[in-house]
Amino acid sequence: MKENNPAPLDEKARIIDNYVKKNILSIVAKLNEILKKPKGTLVIYYEGFLLKDVQDNFPKNKTSKLFTEINSYLNNRELMFYQKRNGDCDYEYYVKKLY
């Protein structure tokens, strides 16, 4: 009897969910936008499990570029980042403008 093993995921055909892809790609725009807002502004910049969603929907080189770009905002002292857990593996990712 033959086992039905799924074929390995092709790196070039990694896009699984276009809705998730669009939301991930909009994160940097949301972070840029909050820098223009008044202090005290709070924004949910992503809902889901960011690490897993990025890894599942993008090839490794794009994943690395996305996290490098997002991480550049983490060093900005004008912004405070935090997350709220909803359920087992679902989160809301927040950013607040401090100054």
Higher-confidence residue: 70 or 1? 70
Q: Distances in Å between the alpha carbon of 20 and those of 3, 25, 96?
A: 32, 9, 23
pLDDT of residue 82: 97
Kindly report the pTM of this predicted structure.
0.80
Task: For 8-28, write each residue's pLDDT tens digit.
Answer: 455 555 557 899 999 999 999
The domain spans of the chain are: 39-99
Tell me if 74 sits within 8 A of 93, measured CB to CB. Answer: no
Task: For 37-79, write each residue's pLDDT tens digit.
Answer: 999 999 999 999 999 999 999 999 999 999 999 999 999 999 9
What pLDDT band is residue 3 in, cutting at 50, 70 and 90? very low
Beta bridge partners of 95: 43, 81
